[in-house]
Amino acid sequence: MFRIVHLADYPQHQQQVIDWQWQAFGSENSREFFASVVASSLRHEGLPITFIALLDDKPVGTVGLWRCDLISRQDLTPWLAALYVEESQRGSGLGLQLQQYVQEYSRRAGFKELYLYADFSGYYERHGWQHIGEALEYPDRPVRLYHRRLD
């Protein structure tokens, strides 16, 4: 059984989350960027915030709730961001559980909608997200924009 908790309550896993985000979403020289993002999200309220999934007290996934995750679309907020599931847990439903956790947290925080982006299709549509168009990830990589109402 997975437990989803605030990374702020388990700071000993901060380096693991940084490594996951850097390896999954970064480039050769961007580890410090991800370290900064994770450090600024060690909180219980406000944005940004990072959650982790634990299995027997071992981190196996992470997700963030960020003010903005796409520089070219700063008009949209907040964002479900940096969803990552360790390879050994893929296919277990953990990705969906992390999404649902952020959705419920966002509802309780008073948000009416969420956004995310991805460079692939199919996965988020299966889980109720609406594809709303295309955008650019810095500097020029095309990505798909998604939206979800929370009411």
pLDDT, tens digit (0-9, with 9 covering 90-100), for 60-71: 999 999 999 999
pLDDT of amino acid 38: 97
Closest CA to 132 of 140, 118, 141: 118
Answer whether 136's CB lies under 8 Å from 142's CB: yes
pLDDT, tens digit (0-9, with 9 covering 90-100), for 17-49: 999 999 999 999 999 999 999 999 999 999 999
H or E element in which residue 149 lies: strand 141-149
pTM for this prediction: 0.96
pLDDT of amino acid 151: 86
pLDDT of amino acid 131: 98
pLDDT of amino acid 101: 98
H or E element in which residue 37 lies: helix 31-40
Instruction: Give the tokens for residue 82.
Output: 């940096």
Answer whether 77's CB lies under 8 Å from 108's CB: no
Q: Which residues of the chain have pLDDT under 70?
A: none
Residue 30 DSSP symbol: -
**Separation of alpha carbons 97 and 76, rounded Å:** 23
